[in-house]
Structure 1
Amino acid sequence: MKQKSNQRLELDSFDLAILRVVQADNKTPQRKIAEEVNLSAAAVQRRIATMEAAGVIAGNAAVVDPDTIGLTITAIVEVYLRDERAATVDAAKALFRAAPEVQQCYYVTGGTSFILIIVAADMRVYEGLTRSLFATNDLVASYRTLIALDRVKVGTSIPIE
């Protein structure tokens, strides 16, 4: 993921229209985007490059259905740290960032320290992850797991008005 710019890029209606298209399918040819948003292909290319440089478009990735590759367990985990000191929080962030099974990680307020979304092949694999990430980790006071029964909605698109 690219480094965020300190300045906020002002987006106009053309930029927003381009973002709607590329969020739906980032492989849409620029000439097709240009037709949809009523700009030239060169203008679309320049605008996309500007949004990438500014960090508005943070990256391009394939969205993989975990079930199709055998990752059938999705766990939502509430993690409670032993304390909220900066060193503890930073170490936990680094640990969770480094674990490929952790698909999403949010440092949150409200009594819980982190909310994680984790994928695993089965419960045995998930148990191993809980041992290494939480149960034997001195940073973690406790954790609570919710197992997803169904992926009702999974999105990567930001609503753009």
Structure 2
Amino acid sequence: MKKPSTSRPLDDFDKAILRLVQRDNRMPQRQIADRVNLSAAAVQRRIASMEKAGIIVANSAEVDVHAVNMSITAIVEITMKDERLETVDNAKALFRAAPEVQQCYYVTGGTSFLLVIVTKDVMTYEDITRRLFATNESVESYRSLIALDRVKTGSAITIP
């Protein structure tokens, strides 16, 4: 993921645009322009500039997991055997490449990584845990927490 440019500060117009596109990235630029009191061309330039600077990193659709028969959401705590650079970088690459891993965080506090994994059933989840953790010699331990309800997902970042 591209890091945002430190030479590109956000002004009030940029922040207002970001608040809107986080809620609905398909909102027409004319409508955004009307809401932030700019021209559509100015909104287009600002969005392009924020994309180029790495402030806007993706445009995506949030999918209802039940509509696509993906009923298992697991939050997984991973503890690595060591925190050497090579071990951590290899784990990051493995988790980044696994399509079932929806989110991955390298964290502090005794746990090495927190992952959110979405899959269709428990048998498939077991296969994933074997592939990513149980046969991985760098993983000391892992703990799965199966979500009973997806109370809140895909929320926008609060921009002051």
TM-score by length of 2: 0.96
Identity percentage of aligned residues: 65
Kindly provide the amino acid, as one letter, of the partner of residue 132 in structure 1: R
Structure 2 equivalent of residue 17 of structure 1: 16
Tell me the SS of whatever aligns to 1:69. Answer: coil
Corresponding residue pairs, total? 160
Tell me the SS of whatever aligns to 1:14. Answer: helix
Runs of 4+ more than 6 Å apart: none
1:68–1:124 CA distance, 2 compared to 1 (3 A): same
Q: Structure 2: how far apart are the matches of 1:149 and 1:36?
A: 38
Deviation digits for residues 104-160 of structure 1, max 9, x if unmatched?
000000000000000110000000111111111101011000000001111241111
Tell me the SS of whatever aligns to 1:66. Answer: coil
Report the aligned-residue RMSD.
1.1
Q: Structure 1: how far apart are the matches of 2:55 and 2:35?
A: 20
8 Å Cα contact 2:33-2:40 kept in structure 1: yes
Tell me the SS of whatever aligns to 2:78. Answer: strand
Gapped regions of structure 1 (runs ≥ 5): none
8 Å Cα contact 2:5-2:54 kept in structure 1: no
User: CA shift at 1:66, angstroms?
Assistant: 1.4
Matched, 1:82 2:58: no
Deviation digits for residues 65-86 of structure 1, max 9, x if unmatched?
1111011000000001111111
Q: Structure 2: how far apart are the matches of 1:22 and 1:5?
A: 17
Tell me the SS of whatever aligns to 2:118. Answer: strand
8 Å Cα contact 2:62-2:154 kept in structure 1: no
Q: Structure 2: how far apart are the matches of 1:74 and 1:5?
A: 30
- 5 Å-filtered alignment, 1:101-116, equals 101-116=100-115
- 5 Å-filtered alignment, 1:23-62, equals 23-62=22-61
8 Å Cα contact 2:79-2:141 kept in structure 1: yes
Tell me the SS of whatever aligns to 1:67. Answer: coil
Structure 1 equivalent of residue 125 of structure 2: 126
User: CA shift at 1:6, angstroms?
Assistant: 4.2
Q: Structure 2: how far apart are the matches of 1:8 and 1:140?
A: 39
